[in-house]
Copies of this chain bind each other. A is one copy, B any other.
């Protein structure tokens, strides 16, 4: 029994050690002794576009490390409209409020196929008490949430509709490792920027006609980032 548990931990450690984005994840700098403290399995899962990880109000037993893909966090207002309050990409924690034993605060829907590691939160509290490495990782994750929120308020929820769209495009481009990047539906753009679908569409159309933006397949685009930046100076 004990042997099995330790064996399990070792296996977990080896799997996490060989993780392709090891330096980005929550367990980035844990050592073997840290992994020995893990007793519940960490599962790798894939969620496809339009699937969701959880709804607002769901009991939060897991936090997810996002290995790849793109996820939107959505709040529904009283009148049924939706407001997207954050985007999560590689390395982010999905459902971080679980660490505070809160139910999930958002509807977390996949925009671009998401590969995640599902981590039981019971593990985190115990390990972070013994590992200053995990403690520091947690602070870094929370801190990033705060910085992302500031960005959302300052750049995506202020200024003219065009400035917001441009900031969003630059942001999406920065999240992508390739030249092309994820281009949301106009409806999602509206929900991210607090503008209407039509206004988002008009601005995208204008950028296309000006040759600053090229729309490729579904939800993919290329942009001349220099020109974009000049539009918001």
Interface residues of A (CB under 8 A from B): 75, 77-79, 83, 85, 96-97, 99-102, 105-106, 125, 128-130, 132, 135-136, 138-140, 142-143, 145-147, 149-150, 152-154, 157-159, 194, 233
B77 with A142: CB separation less than 8 A:
no
Q: How many Å from the CB of A83 to the closest CB on chain B?
A: 5
Q: What residues of chain B lie closer than 8 Å to A77, measured between beta carbons?
A: 154, 158
A100 to B141, CA, bound (A): 9
Chain A contact residues, majority secondary structure = helix
Q: What residues of chain B lie closer than 8 Å to A129, measured between beta carbons?
A: 129-130, 132, 135
A135 with B145: CB separation less than 8 A:
no
A-B contacts besides A85-B154, A142-B145, A153-B153, 17 pairs, CB < 8 Å: A75-B150, A75-B153, A85-B153, A96-B143, A96-B146, A97-B143, A99-B139, A99-B142, A100-B142, A101-B139, A128-B135, A142-B142, A145-B149, A146-B146, A149-B149, A149-B152, A152-B153
A69 to B76, CA, bound (A): 32
A171 to B41, CA, bound (A): 42
A142 to B78, CA, bound (A): 26
Q: What residues of chain B lie closer than 8 Å to A78, measured between beta carbons?
A: 233
Q: Which 6 A-B pairs have the closest CB atoms?
A: A149-B149, A100-B143, A142-B142, A157-B157, A100-B139, A158-B194
Among B85, B143, B154, B194, which residue has its beta carbon within 8 angstroms of that of A150?
Answer: B85
Q: What residues of chain B lie closer than 8 Å to A154, measured between beta carbons?
A: 75, 77, 83, 85
Among B96, B99, B145, B157, which residue has its beta carbon within 8 angstroms of that of A194?
Answer: B157
B143 with A146: CB separation less than 8 A:
no
B147 with A146: CB separation less than 8 A:
no
